[in-house]
Structures are given as C-alpha cells and as structure tokens.
Structure 1
Amino acid sequence: MAKIAIMGASGTIGKNVAFTLAKEDSIDEIVLFARESSYEKITGEVLDMYDALAAEDMDCILTPTCSYEDLEGCEVVLISSGIPRKEGMSRLQLAIPNAKIVSEYSQAIAKHAPDSIILIVTNPVDVMTTIALKMSGFDKNRVIGLGNHLDSLRLKIILAQYFQINSGEINTRVIGEHGDHMVPLLSYTTIGGVLLHNFVKSIPLDIDEVVKRLRSAGNTIISKKGATEYGPSYAVSNLIKTIVNDSRKILTVSTYLEGEVEGVYDVSLGVPAILCKNGIKSIVPLKMDEDEKKQFLDAARAVKKCTYLVREELDIK
C-alpha cells in the first residue's frame, strides 16, 4: 500500500487526481497539501470526497495539510501548483513565477520525503522538471514530468476518431516539448499493427490537419471551457498508478537528458521511458526519420533556452 502527496490539491487537476487515486486499492493514504489561504477549501474537498468514497465502501485516508512534515513517508509527490497560462503570455512569463513555486516545493520534498519520486505537472512542464531536479538534488530517474503522455493520448483519440475505429487499435507517441515544439512520431505509429504510412494508402489521411489538431488541442479546450481538466487529470493518475503498481509500462514522460536521445543533453524533454516503482527504469531508444529528428532538436533548443533564462533569473546552478 502506498502513501502519495499532491501539492496544489486545491486546484482542478490536484483534486481530480486525489479523488481518482483514492479509489485505487494500492493507495491507502493521500496527503492533500495546500497553502494556508486554501486550507479551508481543501478540507471541504476532503469532506466531499469522503462522502463519495463511503458510497463505494472505500477507506483511503485523505489528509488535508499546510505542513511539509506530512510529506514524510510518501512514495510519490505530485507538484501541480502554479499559475495558469493566460492569453498572450510567453513561455518565460509563465515559467519564472511557477519555477519559484516548484523550487520551494522541491526543496521541501527533498527534506521531508527524500526517498520519494517527484512528478511534475506545473507548466511549462519540461522546464519545471529540470528546476525540480536541480533544487531537489534527486537522481534524475526520480524526477519525472507529465511531458507528452497527454499529447500521446490526444493523438491516439484524434486518429481513432478520424478512422472511426477503437482507440485500442492505435499505437502512437508524441515526444519533445509539451507545447508548440511537440513532435508526433508518425513514422512509429501503427493501426492494428500496420504502419500508418501503409494504412493510409487505402484510407487517405491529411497529416497536416492531424498535426494541427494535435498542437491546438489544449488551446481549443481552454478557449471553450477555460481550462483543461479531465485529460491531464487522467494522464497524471495513470502515471502515478504505473509507478505505484510497478507496472513497467512504456510512457512518454519528461526527463532530464544526458545524451541518450540524439545527443541532446542538459534539458528535460518528453521521451518514451519504462516506468517502475523506482521511477524511470530506462529511456527507450528511438530511431526517428530526418524530419522528426529536426523537430526534436528544435524542441531541445527552445526548451533549453527557456530553462537557461529561468535558472539565470533564479540563480539556480
């Protein structure tokens, strides 16, 4: 049985993840951490969740807190706190204030839950993954960003809807930045075990339109309802369950690279990795086509530049 913590539990994603995981047999305690200004709200959320859990005879312990000391003994700590990106806001304008939050929380986790795995959702997630790594001092296999796991799920459903088939028939992956420089690995994509480029010989596919839909998916949801909610919450819950249950699934997550993929180093990007109870077991090797490689290297340059500016601003070595 596992104890996990959610820092930023009063937010939409944090509370949804908490409620989803509270129904898991493998998790017996969830610490819902919030700032003092949000403590009343988080206690209300806990009371509401208990009512729902009672209806299903669930008995997970939910601990609302403002104290870092309650992180002790956690196997996974999720950081979902941060300001949302507003229209017209640059990546750097979003990154600096959120990096201050992630920096503080990462140091607290290192002190009170030194054996835990840190999972980052705060955007820009690739930049924040590096900040959490540097400020916690953890091994890089124990600092993981949501990365392109959500983007990969989005591409899967886009293709399933396009071809009007069950999404389980589609195996696809998105790597790079969780943002403008995401890289859909169409050369790796299979449908019913058939490579996409062979499959589309019989059923035409507008690749450019698919990629456009993928890259605008998050903004489309935000423009219609104000924020993304169910997609990221499920994706995060899926990552945590994979780690806690030692499932050893291959998922696309943001991790700090040191030359493992196309020689890229000193930057966190989304790549496929095997996840286990100790975090990232290993990065899965990739052989991209030339266009995918170019896009991946472009993503590395963009994220590295932003990360460098944030580290310089906050004096993070």
Structure 2
Amino acid sequence: MKRQKITVVGSGNVGATVAHLTVLKNLGDVVLYDIVEGSPQGKSLDLQEAAPIEGFDCFVIGTNQPKDTADSDIIVITAGMARKPGMSRDDLLDTNVSIMRQVVRQITPHSPNAILIIVTNPSDVMAQVALQESGFAPEKVLGLGGVLDSTRFRSFIALELGVSFEAVTALVLGGHGDSMVPLVRYSYAGGIPIDKLLDEETLHLIVERTRKGGSEIVDLLKTGSAYYAPGSAVVSMMEAILKDKKSIMPVSAYVSGEYGLSNVYLGVPVILGSHGVEKIIELDLLPSEHADLLKSADGVKRILTRT
C-alpha cells in the first residue's frame, strides 16, 4: 500500500511544527521544502533521528528542489512573513501574495492531484490567490482560519469554566481576522449551551479575546507569531482528509452561494474528507449573526481588491 506523502512548504516554526506532529501521528512521509539552503535539510534530519524513540516509521526529507515534492497528497503552505507587534494579518499582504504566487507556481505542477492547505496570512486571501494560481478545483484548496479560531474559542471557554478542554465544542465563522464571528449560540460545554453557564459580559470578553487571539500571542512573543495551535489545527485537517473521516469542522472554504455569499474564502462549517471540502453546511443564523458574517466577508473582499 502506497504511503501518503505530505509536503510542507516553509521550514519556520509553523512548518516544522506541522512536520513534527504529522510524523508523530504516522500520517505519512514528509517533505519539508524551503528556499533557504540547509534549513529544511537540518530540521528534517533532526526530526528523522527522533523516529526510534517516538516510534514512527515515516520518512522525512528536507529539500530546496520543487521536484522532490512530486506526487504529494497534501501540500501545506506556511511560507511567508510572520506578524510583528502592532501589525495586523492584512499588513502582510503584498509580501505574502508575491511569495504565495511563486510557491504555487513552483510546487503544484508536480502534484496536480494534491489538496492545498493554506496557512500563510491573511489566510482567506492567500487561499484565493492559491486557487487562482493553481487552477485546482475550489474544494481542493482550503484555508486554515476556522479551525484555529475555533480551537482558541474553545480553549478560552474551558479556561473560564474550569472544565476539560475536550468537553467544549465551539464554532467561529467568517474571515481569519478581527471581524471573525464566534457563534456563542452554537457553542457547548458537555452538551450544555455556554450561555447557560456564563453571563453575557463574560461571554463578550471571551469573544473579543478570540478575535484578538493571534495578536495577543504576537504581542507577547515580540519576534514571531503562534505556531503550536496553528500546527495542531493544520494536522487535524490533514488527518480528516488522509483518513477520509468526513469530519465536520470550520475551515476557510470557497463559498458559491452559501450564506448568500459567493466568490470568497470564509470560515464555514464543512464536511472534510478525502476529496477535500465535500459539503459546506449552512447553519440557520440569526439576522445579527448573518449581518456579522456579511461584514466579515466584505472585509476579506476589500483586501482581495488589493492583490
């Protein structure tokens, strides 16, 4: 049986974390690609040498050659400039659009059947750039946003309640930015709606902290941005695809009429399986929730006009 092949573009903190978690879960062989000579090779060798201790049998290689990524099942693109304190995700636009176009043109021709997962910020816009440059079907190009935003929301709820993190389910829609839409009404702890467990003021603070979750980490680190939670979010998406789990999770997907929106990437709940986005699930939103989602979409579209 052919082993799955995963290419991770970018050997920085996010890329290295994705590679590490991928082999720990034995999801497949990993190619770590970067234009910086020595970086992907060194990190890949270091990771491969952990195999006897960690008990994984995946092969890990580092390369600066696009041809080595050929026949990948999944390509995760993390390459790009990271945020610094005071910067929004949108401030990265010009530099990262250029990087995304170059990467997609170099890598995707070698793996025409791959599924792309875009991490580079602003991820909704970068997913649309990757879609345009690759010529792939929309269901084969995904952005990270929704899973990461939702796991932050879940974490803050669990911390406030003092309960198991696994007991909390939560949902965030919209763009991966300050206008994201955390849905309190669709969030639960042990099956109990969280608005039955937390007062309105506390919920408001949690929602706002979720929207600023990435900035909070950037401000603390000062020299970089988050990578553990993004890495875990990416690998959860990969696992759903590679194992054809038909998982329901919020990802940045290309909407074509759903929620009254078209031709834009947004965080929406989907069924994720071996074909990528197999279905977008349309929730029954309140007028205020739908208005917030439209506002978030408008924000993504405004940024798109600058690409």
TM-score normalised by L of structure 1: 0.91
Q: Provide the residue aligned with 1:182 in structure 2.
A: 180
| Partners of 2:170 and 2:188 within 8 A in 1 | yes
Where in structure 2 are the equivalents of 1:117-128 lying within 5 Å? 117-128=115-126
| Partners of 1:160 and 1:170 within 8 A in 2 | yes
Q: Provide the residue aligned with 1:313 in structure 2.
A: none
Aligned-partner Cα distance in 1 for 2:182–2:136: 30
| Partners of 1:266 and 1:304 within 8 A in 2 | no
**AA paired with 1:222?**
V
Q: Provide the residue aligned with 1:116 in structure 2.
A: 114
1:204 offset after TM fit, Å? 6.8
Aligned-partner Cα distance in 2 for 1:183–1:40: 41
- Report whether the alignment pairs 1:215 with 2:217: no
Change (3 A) 1:97 1:204: closer
Where in structure 2 are the equivalents of 1:44-63 lying within 5 Å? 44-63=42-61
Aligned-partner Cα distance in 2 for 1:245–1:165: 30
**AA paired with 2:217?**
I
Q: Provide the residue aligned with 1:266 in structure 2.
A: 263
Aligned-partner Cα distance in 1 for 2:53–2:190: 39
CA-to-aligned-CA distance 1:123-172 (integer Å, 9 cap, x gap): 00000010000111110000000012111001111111111111222221
Q: Secondary structure at the match of 2:116?
A: strand
Q: Provide the residue aligned with 2:23 in structure 1.
A: 22
1:241 offset after TM fit, Å? 1.4
CA-to-aligned-CA distance 1:48-87 (integer Å, 9 cap, x gap): 1122122234231112111111121110000000011234
Q: Provide the residue aligned with 1:309 in structure 2.
A: 306
| Partners of 2:76 and 2:118 within 8 A in 1 | yes
- Report whether the alignment pairs 1:155 with 2:153: yes
Equivalent residue for 1:293, pick from 280, 290, 294? 290
Q: Provide the residue aligned with 1:281 in structure 2.
A: 278
Q: Secondary structure at the match of 1:148?
A: helix
Where in structure 2 are the equivalents of 1:32-43 lying within 5 Å? 32-35=32-35, 38-43=36-41
Change (3 A) 1:168 1:145: same
CA-to-aligned-CA distance 1:83-127 (integer Å, 9 cap, x gap): 112344455541121011111222233311000001100000000
Change (3 A) 1:198 1:24: closer
Q: Report which stretch shifted further, 205-214 or 156-165.
A: 205-214
Identity of aligned residues (%): 33
Q: Secondary structure at the match of 1:115?
A: coil
Equivalent residue for 1:3, pick from 5, 28, 43? 5
Aligned-partner Cα distance in 1 for 2:89–2:211: 15
| Partners of 2:90 and 2:121 within 8 A in 1 | no
Aligned-partner Cα distance in 2 for 1:294–1:22: 42
Gaps of 5+ in 1: 311-317
Q: Report which stretch shifted further, 174-183 or 53-62.
A: 53-62
Q: Secondary structure at the match of 1:153?
A: helix
**AA paired with 2:211?**
R
| Partners of 2:101 and 2:133 within 8 A in 1 | yes
Aligned-partner Cα distance in 1 for 2:67–2:5: 14
CA-to-aligned-CA distance 1:8-48 (integer Å, 9 cap, x gap): 1x210001111111123331x1111110xx22122111221
- TM-align CA RMSD: 1.6
Gaps of 5+ in 2: none
Aligned-partner Cα distance in 1 for 2:128–2:5: 24
Q: Secondary structure at the match of 2:79?
A: coil
Aligned-partner Cα distance in 2 for 1:296–1:94: 23
| Partners of 2:195 and 2:203 within 8 A in 1 | no
